[in-house]
Amino acid sequence: MNPSLPFFVLATLSVFSALMVVLSRKPVHSVLYLIFCFFTIGGHYLLLNAQFLFAVHIIVYAGAIMVLFLFTLMFINMNKELEPHKSNLLKGAATIAAGCLLLVLVAATKGAETLPAISKTSDIGTVSNLGKALYGQYLLPFELISILLLTAMVGAVMLGKKDVE
Amino acid sequence: MEFFLIKLVLVLIVFLVSLGVAAYSTYAERKIAAFLQDRVGPDRAGPFGILQPLADGLKMFMKEEIIPTHADKFLFILGPCIMMMTASMTGVIIPWGHGLEINGTFYPVQITDINIGILYVFGVVSIGVYGIMIGGWASNNKYSLMGAIRASSQMISYELAMGMAIIALIMTTGTLSVREIVEQQHGIHWNIFTQPLGVIIFIICAFAECNRTPFDLPECETELVGGYHTEYSSMKLGFYLFAEYINMFISSAIISSLYFGGYNFPFIDQLGLSPNMLSMLGTLIFFGKIFFFIFFFMWVRWTIPRFRYDQLMHLGWRVMIPLAIVNILGTGVYVLFKNGQLHF
C-alpha cells in the first residue's frame, strides 16, 4: 500500500466537502458539510501524530462552534423568496475579492516546500510536548491570548444586552 | 496479527456488553420505578418479566416505519445513526480491568489507551449532540425542532462545567490517560477524596448530558409532545431511546473510573490472591460500581421532578460554572500545598 494513500483519501474528502459547503442549496446542508470538512482536517492532524490537536479541533470546532451555527440556522427560516436580490456588479466584486484572498492564501504557503517535513513518528504533537511549549517557550503570547478572549467575551455580553443604561 | 485479533474480540465484547447492559437497564428502570411507586412492574414475559427487553425489541422492529413527507430523508435516517454510533464509541478507552497474564504475556482489558484519553470522550460526546439536532430538524416539526434546540443548548451549557471539573481532576492526577488515572487510585486512594466538589459537578453534568430527569427537558411531554423524537417510529425511535441507556452505562463507567477507583477496591493487597484472580475480582467490582450508578440515575429519575427551562439554564451557567471555577482554584492551592511549594 502506498504510504501516502490515507493522505490523498483525506485530502480528496476535505476538498470535496469544502466545495459542497459552497455549492449545496440548503444552508443546513452547508453546515453539515463544513462539520465533515473539519473531521477530515482532524484526520490530517492524526496523520501527523498530533492527537491533542485533533481532539481539541473536534471538541471546539465541530462540537461547539458548529453546533451554534446550526442552532442559528435552524431558527432562521431561509426561503428563496426572502433572499435579497444581488446585482451583477456585487457578484463581480465578490468574485474578485474572493480571488484575491485565494491568491494571498496560496502565496502564503510559498517557501513552505523548503521546510523539513515532520515525520509521522515524531511526538511533537502529544499533550506533554505541546503543554511544555505553550507554558514554557510561548508563555507570554499564550496568556495574552487568554486576555484577548476574555475581552471578546465581555464585549459580546455587552452587545448582547438589550438595554444598556 | 494476534494483537488485532485480541483487540477485535475485545471490541466485540465491549459492544455486546454495552448493548446487553443497556437492554437490561430498560427492564431495571421499569422494575425500579415500580418498586419506588409500590407497584409490581413488568412480570408477564418470562419469570419476573426477565424477557421483557426482548419483547420490547421485537415490538420495536415490528412497528411500521414512517418517514414524514416533508422530512429531509437522508438526515432523518442519519440522526439516530449518529446517536447510536457515538453512544457505542466511548467504551473504547475505559479500562475494564487491570489485565490478565496468560503464558507470560500481559493482556490489558482495555481496547486502547490513547494519550488524549478523557478528551476523546469529550469529542465523541460533543458529536452526539448532532444526532439530536439533525433528527429534530429533519423531522420538519416545530415540537421536534424545539426539543432539538433545547437538547443542544443544554448539552453545550453543561459540557462547559463538566470540562472544568475534569480540568481540576487532571491537575491532581497529571495525566489524561484514563488507565493511569485509575492506576493511581490503588486501594482506597480514590479521587473522590481529593475532588469532593468535582464529583458533584461531574455527576450533575453527566445527568444533563444523558438527558435524564431532572434534566430531561428535550423530551418534556407536557410541553413538547415527545421532543426531538416526536416524528420517529419503529427502530429509529428505538435507537434514540436505546442510545440514552448506553450513554447512561458509559457515563456510570466513566464516573466510577475517574472518581471511584475503577477496578480498585480497598484491601486489594491484603487478600493474597494471584494477580489474575485479583484482576477478575476488580472487573466484577467495577461492574458493581457501574450498576450502582445506573441505579442512582434511575433512583433520581423517579424521585425528583423535572426542572423548568430557565431553572436549568440558571443552574448550568450561574451555579455549576462558577462552582467549577472555584474548584479549579481550590485544586490549584491544594496541588501547590501538596508539592510543598506553598508556605504560610
The residue among B157 and B217 whose pLDDT is bigger is: B157
pLDDT of residue A152: 93
- In chain A, what residues touch B218 (CB-CB under 8 Å)? none
Q: What is the mean pLDDT of chain B?
A: 83
Predicted pLDDT at B42: 82
Contact B127 A58 (CB under 8 A): yes
Tell me the chain A residues in contact with residue B137 when contact means C-beta distances shorter than 8 Å. Answer: 28, 70, 74
At B300 the pLDDT is 87
- Helix (H) or strand (E) holding B47, with range, is none
Q: What is the pLDDT of residue B174?
A: 82
Q: How do the domains of chain A map onto residue ranges?
A: 1-79, 126-165
pLDDT greater than 80 at residue B177: yes
Q: Among residues B153, B302, B134, B308, which one has the least CA distance to residue B229?
A: B134
Please tell me the total count of domains within chain B.
1
* Segment 58-97 of chain A within 8 Å of chain B by CB: 58-59, 62-64, 67-68, 70-71, 74-75
Determine the longest span between alpha carbons in chain A, in angstroms: 67
Q: Is residue B305 part of a domain?
A: yes
Q: Tell me the C-alpha distance between B84 and B73, whole Å.
A: 18
Q: Which residue has the higher pLDDT, B189 or A18?
A: A18
Instruction: Reply yes or no on whether the pLDDT at B94 is more than 70.
Output: yes
**Cell reading at B63:** 412497528
Contact B199, B192 (CB under 8 A): yes
Q: How confident is the model at residue B221 (pLDDT cuts 50, 70, 90)?
A: low
Residue B89, in any domain of the structure:
yes
Contact A59 B123 (CB under 8 A): yes
Predicted local distance difference test score (pLDDT) of residue A148: 94
Determine which of A65, A127, A128, A157 to mutate to test the interface with B (most B C-beta atoms within 10 Å): A127
Considering only the beta carbons, identify the residue of B116, B148, B156 that sits closest to A64: B156
Q: What is the ipTM of this complex?
A: 0.79
A1-79 has CATH 1.20.120.1200 classification:
yes
φ/ψ of A73, rounded to 5, equals -65, -35
- Say what the pLDDT of residue A115 is: 67
Reference B130, options A69, A52, A17; nearest CA is A69
Q: What is the pLDDT of residues B62-75, one digit of tens each?
A: 888 887 787 778 88
Query: What is the structure's pLDDT at B344?
Result: 61
Establish if B108 belongs to a structural domain. yes
CB within 8 Å of chain A, chain B residues 38-97: 75
Nearest CA in chain A to B125: A63
Residue with cell 436505546: B242
| Helix pair B73-89, B2-36: axis angle to 10 deg | 100
Mean pLDDT of B238-252: 87
What is residue A76's predicted lDDT score, i.e. its pLDDT? 73
pLDDT of residue A121: 63
Q: Give the pLDDT of residue A97.
A: 94
Series of mean pLDDT values for 10-residue runs along chain A (165 residues): 80 90 83 89 85 85 83 69 72 91 88 67 73 86 92 89 66
- Cell 459542497 found at: A20
Task: Identify which of A153-162, B3-12, B290-299 has the greatest average pLDDT.
Answer: B290-299
Is the minimum CB–CB distance between B127 and chain A shorter than 8 Å?
A: yes
Helix (H, G, I), strand (E, B) or coil at B101: strand
Does B264 fall in a domain? yes
Structural domain boundaries enclosing B304: 66-338
pTM for the model: 0.85
Q: Which residue of B has its CA nearest to A49?
A: B115
